[in-house]
Amino acid sequence: MPPFLKEYFNRNGLGLGSVMLGLVLFWTVGLIILPQLSMLDFSFRPNLPPPEIGGPKDLYTLENYKYLIFGPEGGSQDYNAVDLRVFYRTLIAAVLVTLFNLMLCYPIAYYLAQTKGNHIRVLALMLIIPYWINEILRAFALRIIFGESGVLNNILVGAGVFDTPFDFIRNDIALYAGLGYAYILLMIFPIYNVIESLDRNQIEAARDMGASWTRIHRRVVIPYAKPGISSGCTMVFMLSAGALAAPQILGGPSSLWFTQLIYQQFNDNSDWPQGAAYAVVLLVTCILLVLALMRVFKVNMGDIGK
């Protein structure tokens, strides 16, 4: 038995350790790896009627991936401009949502972690309570707030900021705000957990030496909080790129999300192989982007898992 397993069972006992290990393996293999392998297999299959599945025509093919790049055969364009544009826009939007969440959540996480008092518990509770409400209901609530006759437009028009209601939906502001709000806790708490363990004496020492707050955060706090920042950014980016409910409810007519194309292939077109290919491309691209950024910012997988 490997040394780390011996240490694991010595710490948790054979019975409890076996149950915990079994649940983790079931979660990882049964609910993540096997479904993704099935999706990968689907992506290389032709779209055939059910009676022909498993027959001589059911051979592996790259046509589903070619369709994403080149579109249908005999099309008027050399490339599948519509789907590729939606794909790139989804990735860029996910990056922007991640950066927006980081800029918003880092000061909140720092304040929660470095401030003592009962009011901090109240603030944390105020952050958590809205998430007792279903994500769909929260998205519809945001649509009411950002609608042309919504609360925000009534306030802005009444204050004289706008003469006529501003279309937050068509300009994607509601969508980005909705995505940022949906995953705000996934950014705050990883950063909070790391900064909470930071020795305040380091900050006080930097202040005594005349360092500005900007320099303290850049040289002391942010390097220490890098694991939490990496974890939060990874989760927010992956979930934003794979979001479906928020784009469906808060997106304007020109803000098609790549996950909506996947949904259309699976449900509207009944083309599961094409939908699987789109899903695999999105998953692999997001993973590669995360790994590339981890390499750029010198973050390893162990840091994210802290």
Tell me: the pLDDT tens digits for 182-201?
999 999 999 999 999 888 88
Q: What is the pLDDT of residues 56-69, one digit of tens each?
A: 777 889 999 999 99
User: What local confidence, expressed as pLDDT, does residue 73 receive?
Assistant: 74
Exposed e or buried b per residue across 210-231, where buried means at least 16 C-beta atoms within 10 angstroms of its C-beta: ebeeeebbeebbeebbbbbbbb
Instruction: Give whole-number Cα distances, 249 to 93, 95, 129, in Å.
Output: 16, 20, 22
Other beta carbons within 10 Å of 288:
10
Q: What is the mean pLDDT of residues 76-92?
A: 88
304 pLDDT above the threshold of 80: no
pLDDT at 100: 93
CA distance 27 to 63: 32
pLDDT score of 235 more than 90? yes
Residue 111: which of 195, 173, 226 has the closest Cα? 195
- Average pLDDT score over the chain: 88
Phi, psi (deg, nearest 5) at residue 91: -65, -45
Lowest mean pLDDT among 120-129, 134-143, 294-303: 294-303
Split at pLDDT 50, 70, 90, the class of 305 is low
CB 239 within 8 A of CB 183: yes
- pLDDT attached to residue 110: 93
Structure tokens that stand for 217 in this block = 């955060």
pLDDT band at 274 (very low <50, low <70, confident <90, very high): very high
| pLDDT of res. 141 | 92
- In three-state form (DSSP H/G/I as H, E/B as E, the rest C), the secondary structure along 139-188 is HHHHHHHHCCCCHHHHHHHHCCCCCCCCCCCCCCHHHHHHHHHHCHHHHH
Region 67-85: what's the mean pLDDT?
83
Mean pLDDT within 164-169:
90
- Asked which of 78-92, 113-127, 268-282, 283-297 is least confident by mean pLDDT, the reply is 113-127
Q: What is the pLDDT of residues 118-137, one digit of tens each?
A: 888 888 888 888 888 888 89
More confident residue, 233 or 123: 233
pLDDT at 296: 82
pLDDT score at 232: 93
Give the residue-averaged pLDDT of 246-274.
Answer: 90
Q: Over the stretch 16-67, which tens digit does the pLDDT of each residue have? A: 888 898 999 999 999 899 999 999 999 999 988 877 777 777 788 999 999 9
pLDDT of residue 74: 65
The domain 70-304 is placed in CATH, from the list 1.10.3720.10, 1.10.8.590, 3.40.50.720, 2.10.10.90, at: 1.10.3720.10
pLDDT at 37: 93
pLDDT of amino acid 259: 94
pLDDT at 3 (0 to 100) = 78
Quote the percentage of the chain above a pLDDT of 90: 50
Domain boundaries, the chain: 70-304
Token pair recorded at residue 228? 């939490």
pLDDT at residue 170 is higher than 70: yes
Both tokens assigned to 208: 């005594």
Cβ-based neighbours of 170, under 8 Å, separated by 6 or more? 252, 253, 254
- Average pLDDT rounded to a whole number, residues 165-174: 89
Cα distance between residue 61 and residue 43, in whole Å: 9
Question: What's the angle, vertex CA 92, arms to CA 221 and CA 61, rounded to 5?
Answer: 125
